[in-house]
Each structure stands twice: as C-alpha cells, then as structure tokens.
Amino acid sequence: MENKHWWNNSVVYQIYPKSFQDSNGDGVGDLRGIINRLDYLKKLGVDIIWLNPIYKSPQVDNGYDISDYQAINPTLGNMADFQELIDGIHHRGMKLVMDLVVNHTSDQHKWFEESRKSKDNPYRDYYIWRDGKNGKEPNNWGSYFSGPAWKYDPETDQYYLHLFAPQQPDLNWENPNVRHSVYDMMNWWAAKGVDGFRMDVINLISKPKELTDGPLTGDEKYANVEKLVPNGPRMHEFLQEMNRNVMSKHKMITVGEMPGTTPEQAKAYANLDNKELNMIFQFEHMGLDGNSNPALGKWNDQKTKLADLRANFTKWQKGLMGTAWNSLYWNNHDQPRVVSRFGDDSNEENRVKSAKMLATMLHFQQGTPYIYEGEEIGMTNVYFDKLEDYVDLESINAYHQLVDDQHLLDGKTMLKYLSMHSRDNARTPMQWDDSKNAGFSTGTPWEKVNPNYSTINVEKALTDQNSIFYYYQKLIKLRHELPVITNGDFQLVAGNEDDPAVFAYRRQNADTTLLVITNYTDQTLQRHYDVPDGAKLLITNYADDAGETIRPYEAKVYQY
Ligand code: TEU
C-alpha cells in the first residue's frame, strides 16, 4: 500500500526550546542552540521537528501565554534566527512543526489589552466575559492550574474565563473575527515555510452553549472542566473551516492536542478523509495510574499496570485502523519521563533495558511516533525533594491547593507525588555531555540540571554502540524501510490478553508479519509464541535470543 501522505512513515522529535541548548550563556535555551544541534537530530534520523511555543510571551506558562503570535520571544532569538533555523531544517531534509496556541492568549496580548478596556471596545468579544453571580464567579468551574476558571476585572466589573492561568484568557471562538485572525496568522507562518502545527488544547475552543455549573465529586472545590468543556458543539465546524482556510492550501501536517477524547471522537477529528486534522494527541494512556479521589487530579504514586496499558493501546490501534490516524507518544513537556514512569530507572542496566523495551512497544504500532528531547538517551525524572526547586506553575499551585488550602494531603506525600508527576521532570535541561550544566549552558540554567548528567548524556550515548540512542536510530530506520509498520494490521497474540507481564502483538500486511514481544517487568519468564522457522530477529535489546525464556525488560521483534 502506498502511503497516502508524505508524513505517514515519519518520526517527530519534540524540542522544548527553553531546555534544549543555550548558545549565549543566559541560562535559557535558544534558536541558535537548536541550529547548532541540527546535525545531531539528523543523525538520529527524525523527519520532523516540533517546537514548543517560541513566540513573544511573558512566560507565565513557558510560552503557552502568547502576547504576539508573529514575533519571536527575545530570549530565544529573532526572526532572522528563525529563518536560519527553518532553512537549516529544510536543507537537511527535515520539516518544522510549530505550536499553535489559540484556545487562549496572554493577558498581555494587544487583543486582551483592548478587550478589557470597556464593554464596547471592538475587541471585547474576542474573549469570554460574564457578569458575576451573587458577587461570585459566573459558574463553579475550576481552572486546569487550580483555583477558579474566572477572574474578576474591576475595570468593567465583569469576569473573564481562563481555563488555564489567569494570565491566559480564553479566546471567544464564537466570534468570526477571532477565527479569521487565527487563520491569517497560520497562513503567515505557512508562507514562511512552516510545515505544520501542533494545536494546543484545540478541542477546548468550542465552549458549551450555556456556561453552567458542573457537578462536584469527592472533595472537589471546583468543577472539573475536563469533563465539561472538551469537544464542544462547534468543534467540527471550526476545524473544517480552519482546514478550508489554511490546511487545504499547503502541504501540512497537523496534530491536535485533545485531552478527554475517545477513539470514536478521534475518528471524526483525524479521519483519513482529511477534512479536519491529520491526527490527535489523546491522553487515555497518560491517565491509567491515578487515584480514587477526583480532587487529587493527576497526583498519585501508582505505576500503570501492563493490563491497562495493553487494553488501551489495543483499543486505539484497532479503533482507528483504516479510518483515522494515531499519534504515538510516551511523554512530552507535560508528562513525567517515560523510563521513570513506565520503566525502571533504579539502576543503569534496567534503565537502558526498559527504555529500549518501551520504545519497542510503542514504535511498532501504527501511527506517528513522537520522541521527546532526551527520551532517546533515556533521561529520567529529576525527583526534586523541595518545593523551592519546582518552577512549573501547575505543580506549585497544586501543592498549595491540596496541602495548604484543602488539607487533602500532607506536604511530604504531595512532594512525593510531585517528584513522580510534576511537569518539571520533563523540563530539566537536555544533557549533552558531562561538562558544567551538562553542556546545556555556561550560565545558570533557568531550571536545575538533573544531577545524573555525568552518566546520562548525549556524548556518552554516541560513543556506545549499544546505547538507547542507537536503538532509537534503528527503530526510526525500520519505520522508514518496512511498510508493514505503517500499514500492517494490528493483532494481539492469542492468549496475551490476560498476561500481566508481557505485551505481545503482531503487525501484518500482505507480505510481511512482525511479532513484537515486550517484557514489562524485571522478572525472567517462560512464554511460548509461535515463531515460524526462518523468522528473522529484527531488533532486540539483548545480545542474543533465549527463545522461550523472556528476560527482564526484554524486547524482541521477529520478521517473517
Ligand atoms: O496542555 C494541556 C493540558 O491538557 C495540560 O493541562 C495537561 O493536562 C497538563 O499539563 C498535564 O499535567 C497544554 C500544553 O501542553 C501545556 O504545556 C500548557 O500549559 C497548556 O496546554 C496551556 O496552554
């Protein structure tokens, strides 16, 4: 089967620019730093680079609060640097995807500065303003970052909606001027050569018709907007309009970030008919750990069970097969590091083995894999043990709400949960070598470097043929070479449904079968799988094949 789109067998590499490479010693990564590392990414073999937001921003939420969509944040560089970056990417045969953050802007965006001035300002309706109710917020919604989702603005005696921080007011997508301003801006970037967009919380842009109170469960103080807002009534209309105005005019790749989305919904958003988006980021496999009290949100210390992970991956693989397209990811700038969360970073051998095993489990599925910076060398969570080390507003706010305000957790427990789930785990600087600050910066890094950089770094990975880096390089190469990874059917191996330790599946097209076997545990196991004579061992994280003995964190793939 021919690939339908240019990106069908591509692999994406995600860069968090603030943490990737600082070139001028100010402690913050920048565009020139990325330019200087393009050959490294080329060596890894990725096809597409996705940059987290690089636009002008007060940095309340590290660039997800944009004050000018058509300017580069000065700490990262300028438009000339950007041009050099995109040219450098294209010159190496790679593509560039930008972050598109249009559910909200910064409160310092000129639209909002106008909007808040008066009720009859032409920009008033760019945002969502409501009167208070009995001297309180218009409804009981909570923001993603703790506290209420409304902020009172004395200037006009009304509240505005902010699903994230108060400095991130939500845009009013009901207003056609908002929509067309966004489309114009997207076309402006496309004209600069941008090859696609990763759309931040795009399934939140269409709000429910009535902004009414939501139910409170357990100890919740505010209603959970994740249950109320995603996938609103005009979502498909807006995305189709965006597609007609922007995507249909360019050779683009789009991925919508969509918390709270099921395979059924994904089929409409990322249908192969290409009327809306190419694929979405869904979150189901990110929420399989968790706890029974909804008020604690994502904060817990549970490890995801293989049975849940397998059931979920299988559901998505089968659910979208032939009708829509999956994105495949283990982590990103909002999630803990994959090897710490799903694997085993307790010792060097298990870290390397489990990182490769998890990469195998994911990269042989159908969809587009995303590799988050540092994943390819097995970077781990940083495990800060003091609140003062945390930088991320989500983590700090959650601590204050759950410990100081609601007294639902003691400080020690919350620190443990933060050390496992805080977004800061993903945001510590990229570990390039064992020199000062891991070679990230000659200045003081904006976020502390993980102290394990002397053992885990790029320089070391590149000198070791058995490193995680070369394993990822091979996985990427296999995806480019073997159509079955892109177009093959997905089947769980018979009897694997109930296996608590091993995930085994087949991918199959008319001429090739792959049998993927991954041990999620540190135990040595015995398993029988039918492997035809003459099957070739395509890739493995051990030096040899022990047949029916499956060793700790072993991964192996047969081709026949
Ligand atoms: O994240 C959206 C989102 O759903 C997050 O709240 C996510 O669930 C949380 O970070 C997990 O802990 C996007 C961006 O990826 C994130 O960095 C931004 O802070 C957020 O949108 C607001 O723009």
Closest ligand 1 atom, residue 298 Cα: 12
Measured N-to-C along each axis, helices 176-191 and 235-245 cross at an angle, to the nearest 10 degrees, of 40
Assigned CATH topology for domain 12-105+176-472: TIM Barrel (3.20.20)
What digits encode the pLDDT tens for the residues 191-247? 999 999 999 999 999 999 999 999 999 899 999 999 999 999 999 999 999 999 999
- Residue 129 tokens read as 């303003």
Secondary element (H or E) of residue 142: strand 141-142
Q: What gap in Å lies between CA 121 and CA 94, rounded to an integer?
A: 44
- Mean pLDDT, residues 480-502: 97
Ligand 1 nearest atom to the CA of residue 145, by list position: 6
Nearest-CA residue for atom 18 of ligand 1:
64
Q: Which of 50, 65, 164, 229 is the best mutation target for the ligand 1 pocket, counting ligand atoms within 8 Å of the beta carbon and taking the most?
A: 164
**What is the distance in A from the centroid of ligand 1 to the CA of 152?**
23
Please give the number of the atom of ligand 1 that sits closest to the Cα of 283.
8
Pocket probe mutation, ligand 1, options 14, 15, 201, max atoms within 8 Å of Cβ:
201
- This prediction's pTM: 0.98
The strand pair at 48-51 and 95-100 is best described as parallel
Distance in Å, CA 251 to ligand 1 centroid: 27
For ligand 1, atom 4, the nearest C-alpha belongs to 259
**E strand or H helix at 223, and its extent?**
strand 223-224
Q: Whose CA is nearest to atom 2 of ligand 1?
A: 201
Q: What is the ipTM of this complex?
A: 0.96
444 burial class (0-12, 13-18, 19+ CB within 10 angstroms)?
exposed
**Residue whose CA is closest, atom 10 of ligand 1?**
334
Q: Is the pLDDT of residue 268 over 60?
A: yes
* Residue nearest ligand 1's atom 23 by CA: 64
Q: Which atom of ligand 1 is nearest to the CA of 333?
A: 17
Region 81-86: mean pLDDT is 98
Pocket of ligand 1 (CB under 6 A): 61, 64, 101, 144, 164, 200-201, 257, 259, 298, 333-334, 394, 423
pLDDT, one tens digit per residue, over 115-167 is 999 999 999 999 999 999 999 999 999 999 999 999 999 999 999 999 999 99
At 2, the pLDDT band (50, 70, 90 cuts) reads low
Q: Which sign does the torsion angle of CA 444, 445, 449, 454 carry? A: negative
Q: Tell me the chain's radius of gyration from C-alpha atoms.
A: 23
Domain spans of the chain, in order of start: 12-105+176-472, 110-161, 488-559
| Residue 291 confidence (pLDDT) above 90 | no
Q: Give the pLDDT confidence score for residue 84 in this predicted structure.
A: 98
Quote the ligand 1 centre to 164 CA distance (angstroms): 8
Query: Rounded to an integer, what distance in angstroms lies between the CA atom of residue 140 and that of residue 223?
Result: 6
Catalytic positions are 200, 257
Mean pLDDT of 324-353: 98
Collapsing DSSP to helix, strand or coil, 221 comes out as: coil
Question: What is the Cα–Cα distance from 95 to 193, expressed in whole angstroms?
Answer: 9
Cα–Cα nearest to 485, from 317, 353, 339: 317
Q: What is the reported pLDDT for 73?
A: 98
Mean pLDDT of the chain: 97
Out of 146, 199, 200, 258, mutate this one to test ligand 1's pocket (max ligand atoms within 8 Å of CB): namely 200
Q: Strands 150-153 and 158-161: what pairing?
A: antiparallel
Rounded to the nearest whole angstrom, what is the distance from the C-alpha of residue 383 to the centroid of ligand 1? 20
**Could you tell me which CATH number the domain at 110-161 has?**
3.90.400.10
How large is the average pLDDT for residues 465-481?
Answer: 98
Q: What is the distance between the alpha carbons of residues 133 and 547, in angstroms, rounded to a whole number?
A: 68
The class (CATH top level) of 488-559 is: mainly beta
Q: How far is the CA of 460 from the centre of ligand 1 (A)?
A: 32
Using DSSP, state whether 308 is helix, strand or coil: helix
Which residues are within 8 A (CB) of 217 and not within 5 positions of it... i.e. 6 or more apart? Answer: 224, 294, 295
Residue 145 Cα, ligand 1 centroid: separation in angstroms? Answer: 9
Cα 459 to Cα 456: distance, rounded to the nearest angstrom = 9
Alpha helices, DSSP H only, in 233-305?
235-245, 263-269
Pocket test for ligand 1, best of 16, 145, 163, 334 (most atoms within 8 A of CB): 334
Residue linked to tokens 């997905």: 490
Q: What value does the mean pLDDT take over residues 330-334?
A: 98
Quick check: 290 pLDDT over 90? no
Q: Which atom of ligand 1 is nearest to the CA of 421?
A: 12
Tokens linked to 51: 């940059």
Tell me which residue has its CA closest to atom 14 in ligand 1.
Answer: 200
Tell me: pLDDT of 400 over 60: yes
3-state secondary structure of 537: strand
What is the average pLDDT across 462-485? 98
Residue of 18, 55, 144, 397 with the most ligand 1 atoms within 8 Å of its CB, for mutation: 144
- Between the CA of 299 and the centroid of ligand 1 the distance, in Å, is 15
pLDDT at 509 over 70: yes
Check: CB of residue 288 under 8 Å from CB of residue 297. Answer: no
| Residue-wise pLDDT tens digits, 14-73 | 999 999 999 999 999 999 999 999 999 999 999 999 999 999 999 999 999 999 999 999
User: Is residue 1 over pLDDT 70?
Assistant: no
Strands of 231-349 (E only): list them: 253-257, 279-281, 327-328
How far apart, in whole angstroms, are the C-alpha atoms of residue 149 and residue 162?
5
Smallest CA separation from ligand 1 atom 9, residue: 334
Rounded distance from Cα 474 to ligand 1 centre (Å): 31
Ligand 1 centre from 334 Cα, in Å?
A: 6
Structure tokens at 541: 């994280």
Atom of ligand 1 nearest to the CA of 65: 23
In the reported structure, the alpha carbon of residue 333 is separated from the centroid of ligand 1 by a whole-number distance in angstroms of 9
Q: Which atom of ligand 1 has the smallest separation from the CA of 423?
A: 12
